[in-house]
Amino acid sequence: MRILLTGSSGWLGSALAPRLKSLGHEVTGLDPVPSAQTVVVGSVSDRELVLRTVSENGIEAIVHSGALHKPNIEHYENADFVATNMQGTLNLLDAAVAHGVQRFVFTSTTSLMISQAIRAGFQGGARKAAWLTEDMSPEPRNIYGVTKLSAEHLCRLYHIEHGLPVVVLRTARFFPEADDMAHAIEQSDANTKANELLFRRLTVEDAAEAHVAALEKAPSLGFDIFIVSAPTPFRPEDCAELIADAPAVVVRYFPDYPGLYARKGWTMFSWVDRVYDPSRAREKLGFVCKTSFADVLAALAAE
């Protein structure tokens, strides 16, 4: 397929573009920042550029992973988020409809699922961890979440009105930057990210592979939204104990983890405040992340 990939110079785009090319696809990267994976330098907020790029390259599929992200909040105005995350998505959807694009994959975020009320519960001593699925009605707490959720609604609208096949992937954390969890301050970055694979993280390689799966399944799905995160061993009935004593829950599923962690000088979070459930992606998209917490333990055991 001839694929337009937005955000091609970013962390995900840099992993996804080579993967798509290895499968025989022709990839046109669009990003404001030049890179080896970017063919067109510019913003998705530039409507004429988007329309021209889709038309001139005979685009058959769009993977829209470009966005202003949560860390950008400190440096950009709300209007910038609206222009990039909402207007940019609208521009791409209009181009898709105008030029007969057959499938559209939108990279969203699990961040939009955390409302101010849920956040306040975490900070105020919640009685149990939040078990988060696609069935909840999100109430985003910041401009990033608001614009990403609005973009999801645009995607749904264009499927309803124009029949455009769209798959929305609410990806958990896969960025390389250090974590910002309050109870992880004294842990190494590698330790923190290993812990998060239990409930709120995936590798960038798995994030890229989820987009490949979404491209393949979009026509048969029509429209759908999926949480994409490493498979969690936890169950909803664990949530009360996860907020009170997470290590006790983890050791039930992985009895060898304390010894392996001690040898590395690592520790488990004392509490876990949320669990993203990726089971819908397994059941309907046929996708499961390859890397899980069990793989981390296997690597530690092999050291």
The residues pairing with 103 across neighbouring beta strands, listed in sequence order, are 61
Q: How many residues are recorded in the chain? A: 303
Query: Per residue in 69-85, pLDDT tens?
Result: 888 888 999 999 999 99
Per-residue model confidence (pLDDT) at position 186 = 61
If you average pLDDT over residues 170-174, what whole number do you get?
A: 97
Half-sphere exposure of 247 (CA within 13 A, CB side): 11
What single-letter amino acid sits at 22? S
pLDDT, mean of residues 268-295: 97
Q: State the sign of the Cα–Cα–Cα–Cα dihedral 233, 212, 224, 171.
A: positive
What is the rounded distance in angstroms from the CA atom of residue 208 to the CA atom of residue 17? 9
Which H or E element spans position 131?
strand 130-132
The structural domains of the chain, with segments of one domain joined by +, span 2-302
The model's pLDDT over 215-267, given as tens digits with 9 standing for 90+, comes to: 999 999 999 999 999 999 999 999 999 999 999 999 999 999 999 999 999 99
Judged by DSSP in three states, 224 sits in strand
Do residues 26 and 1 lie in contact, with contact meaning Cβ atoms separated by under 8 Å?
yes
The pLDDT of residue 179 is above 60: no
d(CA 220, CA 252): 39
Residue 13 burial (CB count, 10 A): 27
Enter the CATH code of domain 2-302: 3.40.50.720
Position 183 pLDDT exceeds 60? no
> Which of 174-178, 214-218, 298-302 is the least confident region?
174-178
